[in-house]
Chains A and B, each alone.
Chain A
């Protein structure tokens, strides 16, 4: 009994710590007047409407969604052939590229961001919106690379062998056997990259910060030049979006497995 009590207390404390700040932000976001007060005074969902009706916030929302979708797609396009090659071929030296794919994510983000800043400034493309998409794709390529590697390794090779014994060539095997099996991993890799790109600040700021506003950049600017409850409603909107996307992955995929819950023999 005391063990269960201990567990309950530990869970409650961590939950309160993780959710506490979000509760306050949620409270602030429903204030009736343009003031950041908590407990909220009055009730209004107008600040949520602002995200879509105010031209500045709407432009930032569209910029963020476009950036996240294009960079996540590009990240998957880079990761898929690489992960496939590493699974299909024996080429130890090719692991160098896997290392390169993971490096930008492990290094402190400021460094990756500064690398992009100096690079785009040197080639003269500094501030172009597409530079942010490429930068984010490289920054987050780790995520689809990890999920896809996991996906390929969970494929039963006898399935593939059966297909090729029955006369399917590499391309047919890839299309009819391999791709359907790794589709869930591909989708999760895309989703992870999408959510993180949506929230990413420093790389976006150092590449396009002076020409374009994504939502995190807009929130940061609002922090410096004038608070508005819209910042709070956007934050809650983002948390909800992330929770929905990860919830869907958990519902239709195996989140525990994606996060390393099962070892090799449990596939």
Chain B
């Protein structure tokens, strides 16, 4: 049975249920959110339908600019740290035996599927005074008394790297595991040391993969909504935290929606960029 274009109406039947579900429960909610971003807040209920740009105008404040700047800076930092750690690690993993790879993949998937709530809880415990890592340092005599390492920027950054690292490894894994081994053999035969071959052959060969991964991890980190809240101070809140806060605790759905639309546009632009880079890679391969 070859692939063939649908001829009769009945041939389209399998598409009906998925299409309906995706349109009703994704396209419409998404459009509703965009519409709500132009509505007015209603103290009593959710919102009153009108058309106003007030919600977007609120972006033009120094406070919002600060939050946006901080969110982007934090996400860039997380992406750079994750790729810097994950790339050599995944490279080594991809050269290991199948058995070792499988065990690591199970562990990485298990950590990746952890709820942000659990990650936040785990790190707030690890950084706390009563149950934290400083207790171990005291026990071995490196510190005189236990300390709380949170809330703070370091705690937020560590938590977010922890959350994004398994994701980064899994994004890099296919490209690194399929890397042509003859490339490396050639470099080694010509006298390059393993480290030199890695830096001068593997890294340049996967330049586009690295850029695409950086962007994907950046978008992923931009979506972190709990860790800055659980591990940081209010000045460490990101756009995602602010959206949650406005929607749930301040019940200002229109403003939350306007911020969300803004975040979507930014993420979409970046995902588009990733796809473009990916497309160029396919074309050149």
Contact = CB atoms under 8 A, between A and B. Distances in A.
Interface of A: 3, 7, 10-11, 14-15, 17-18, 20-22, 24-25, 27-28, 35-39, 77-79, 81-82, 84-85, 87-91, 94, 97, 100-101, 103-104, 106-111, 114-119, 121-122, 134-135, 137-138, 141, 157, 160-161, 163-164, 170, 173, 195-196, 199-202, 205-206, 209, 216-217, 219-220, 223, 231-232, 235, 238-239, 242-243, 246-247, 250, 255-256, 259-263
Contacts of B223: 107-111
Contact of B110 (A3, A121, A232, A239): A239
B36 interface: yes
B228 to A, nearest CB: 12
A220 B119 CA distance: 11
A107 B271 CA distance: 9
B22 A255 contact: no
Contacts, number: 270
Given A97-B18, A109-B225, A103 B26 contact: yes
B174 interface: yes
B149 interface: no
A21 B85 contact: no
Consensus secondary structure, chain B interface: helix
B235 to A, nearest CB: 19
A37 B128 CA distance: 9
A223 B2 contact: no
B1 A161 contact: yes
Interface in B226-242: 226, 230, 240
The 7 closest A-B pairs by CB, nearest first: A108-B223, A260-B174, A119-B29, A38-B131, A21-B122, A81-B14, A82-B18
A36 B92 contact: no
Chain B interface bracket (under 10, 10 to 19, 20 to 34, 35 or more) = 35 or more
B121 A231 contact: yes
Interface string B180-220: 00000000000000100000000000000000000000010
Given A121-B46, A219-B121, A199 B128 contact: no
A115 B30 contact: yes
Nearest to A163: B1
A195 B27 contact: no
